[in-house]
Amino acid sequence: MFFKPKKIKEWVQGRKLHQTQKVEEEYINWGLGVEVPFFSSSKFSIENNSVAIIGSQITHDHSWPIKYSIVKLSKLGTSIKYFDSVVFYGDQFDGEFEHTFHLPNGTGYQLLIFNYYQYHSIGRFRMLPKK
């Protein structure tokens, strides 16, 4: 047998922890590591050509980057179209960071968080439509 059942079970359980969550005015917590370097939000719409993210992050090393990108996934999830990105380095927890993405109005957008396959990093964010 090529796959170990225990490893598959661990992967499925770990994946459940990183499922997308509903984007609201509440904070959404995320955690990334070497084996799970991506987090994606649930889909949302853009109105008034912009949306802001407000959040904080803690990384294993103060110089490591975390990339926040607005994307659209293809219907089958086989391709990603990037619209805008921002990178924050190291710990950002003393005061929250804020960034406004300027995008075309539409639906089906997602926030994709990526840690460049570095050690563990955790954080939280919330999204606010800009008026």
Written in H, E and C, the secondary structure of the chain is CCCCHHHHHHHHHHHHHCCCCCCCCCCEEEEECCCCCEEECCCEEECCCEEEEEEEEEECCCCCEEEEEEEEECCCCCCEEEEEEEEEECCEEEEEEEEEEECCCEEEEEEEEECCCCCCEEEEEEEEECC
Average pLDDT in the 13-32 region? 62
Q: Where are the domains of the chain?
A: 5-129
92-117 pLDDT, tens digit each: 877 789 999 999 999 999 999 999 88
Fold of the 5-129 domain: Jelly Rolls (2.60.120)
The pLDDT of residue 105 is: 93
Mean residue pLDDT of the chain comes to 82
Is 18 a residue whose pLDDT tops 90? no
